[in-house]
Structure 1
């Protein structure tokens, strides 16, 4: 299902409109996604793992920071953050960043067709504050450093091949990335209060060693992409090199599907939707425009290709992953109990779409060494 911007409504600030983003919606939406009943029903009491889930769903803990992953000799990294899944024959691999500095990096868990962990291993080492990132169509994981003049590293979770630094993708306080195979670009978010929204156009699709970094600009209500003259960000930060750069308050997660790049900003608790064909940007969710908003502390984002639902994780709030449906309903999907000093990170579906992975970065201890990585299984819907 395409979540397109056919159904539009009132202008909310220059160049941004609130909208309903499903083509099948029978009436025009007046506002961004609104609080409503979840298609999965209400949350049950917390299970033995401290996870509150809808009826029919179960959880398990697949890895704990500073502890050996079951069935392997590998010690899971501290402060697990952004993640993604990759098909691996009849099984799959889940990769996860480590948001610590120094050290950083990323690790991976390999599952067989029944969901049993068969291996765990390091895919990136000796980097800084690896926060989020994004998967590519050629099965690599872009691990992003959330530090000034941070790099993007291309890692290879399926093969374990040596990671490669990708300086052409710019040096700034990276957060997340999302590959657009239609336009053959990679979208990038920046985690600062006056951050920009970028895209990287590789010289050759599938090879990130060279290309052009561009930044989204706005003038007179019109959006355009402009080349960043100096992607290494020194002495002038990449976000300050181009006139009329459009600003975003704390860029976080990033997810592309069906011609739309959804990304989040934590400073104003918004989910944005950039329509690549129309070259327009809309507000898909804003907690200040939603009575009794269930979703606050907006952070990582992913989606279900089977249903078109978005799943947005909280850093703070009620420690929830909330769903935003194609008919503009926002509601809790799960909640962690006893994780008040943590944040939810790295939501990602396995290739079949029936298992959702995510982490509690600091677990119940409030420390990165107490991180916990979960799997939720159940009847995820299809449309």
Structure 2
């Protein structure tokens, strides 16, 4: 019997007590199992080629290489990680450009209170393969370079303050970031097959200009347990020096770190190499699996990538490949498709983020129907999210 078949059989035959399930909103039942979506089944594809639950609608807000309607700004290629920020009575959606230097960087869309695009502009230029990142509580966007010895750049979503490189957050193949205001740390993922999970302790919370301490998670090889943290001796190694991930003995390895999202004392992050979603319990420094496609019958979620959450406590995980879906993981341990993009099998879904009111979800198809970085499409889905 193959490992995948054996593990799924073991899960289906086990009891919740044996698996240590918890059923609170703050701690996800683990591992999540395939089930019906609380939003109901997907309907036929709409005019934009997106299958959605009943009651939800989609629209295209920007296309790579084309002027954003109502503005004079040409939208960037290869849209990737993104986030929303309040802006008066409206909001701003920022989007990374996963393109090589000098074409990498960040662009932004400004919306008024009715959801109309009123502006588009660049907030970071000349950087290298800006993949994912994370929003800070002080309303800046941390844009991460997904290259060996890459940096984190702190950017202003309004485009007023110049972007600043934050060297103290380390030089490695950055993927995503998530801020924990309770412990005043920032968690970071690393897109390497033997990557690590980091946390950065700013010397001054609310300002990254005064440096801080980069630490790496230390733990065993199990999929659950207790972790400790160790300081990285040289967070900014040069080319040819010992990589950041190799400087601490016993650092826990993760297979291709991707998205990262924090809420209610938990940091959720994904690893694409083994199709897993992890939960780090910050209060007691324990970690466990939220989802593993090896432990889920007929898994709807594969190619796990960017991740975000709704105000109702659901996780939304975008696929890089798979069925081009954004899947939902509910706190009671159900995983199901929320939407599917059709006709774009050579692309990936990136940058899911909710507007401040929580009734609009933004995301991009990085290569769209063309399969090229010049064919990216950025969407908005509107509806009654839980």
TM range, smaller chain: over 0.9
- Inter-partner Cα distance in structure 2 for 1:218 and 1:376: 39
Residue by residue, what CA displacement relative to the aligned partner does 1:25-78 show, whole Å, maximum 9, x if unpaired? Answer: 9xx998500000000000011100011000000000000000000000000000
TM-score, L = length of structure 1: 0.92
> Hey, what's the Cα distance between the residues in 1 that align with 2:339 and 2:38?
13
Pairwise CA distance, 1:24: 6.3
Residue aligning to 2:137: 137
Instruction: State the match for 1:361 in structure 2.
Output: 366
Separation (CA, whole Å) in 2 of partners of 1:156 and 1:371? 23
Scaled by the length of structure 2, what TM-score is found?
A: 0.92
What secondary structure, in the 3-state scheme, does the structure 2 residue paired with 1:125 have?
Answer: strand
Residue number in structure 1 paired with 2:4: none
* 8 Å contact from structure 2 (residues 25, 313) kept in 1: no
Runs of 4+ in structure 1 over 6 Å off: none
- Distance (whole Å) between structure 2 residues aligned to residue 299 and residue 19 of structure 1: 26
C-alpha distance in structure 2 between counterparts of 1:166 and 1:69, whole Å: 30
Aligned residues: 364
> Residues 49-88 of structure 1 correspond to what in structure 2 (within 5 A)?
49-88=48-87
Tell whether the 8 Å contact from 1:84 to 1:96 is kept in structure 2 after alignment: yes
Q: Evaluate the alpha carbon distance shift between residue 158 and residue 60 of structure 1 in structure 2; reply closer, same or farther with a 3 A threshold.
A: same
Structure 1's unaligned 5+ residue stretches are 1-9, 11-16
Distance in 2 between the 1:90 and 1:261 partners?
A: 29
Matched, 1:343 2:384: no
> How many Å apart are 1:233 and its aligned residue?
2.6
Shift of 1:18: 6.0
Q: Answer whether contact 1:18 1:284 (CA < 8 A) is retained.
A: no
2:24 corresponds in structure 1 to: 23
Distance of 1:350 and 1:30 partners within structure 2: 27
Larger mean CA deviation between 328-337 and 156-165 belongs to 156-165
CA RMSD of aligned residues (A): 1.8
1:207 Cα deviation after fit: 1.3
The answer (yes or no) to whether the contact 2:123–2:159 under 8 Å persists in 1 is no
Structure 1 residue 216 and structure 2 residue 221: aligned? no
Partner of 2:317: 312
Whether the 8 Å CA contact 1:40–1:54 is kept in 2: the answer is yes
Q: CA 1:85/1:359 → structure 2, altered by over 3 Å: closer, same or farther? A: same
SS at match of 1:126: strand
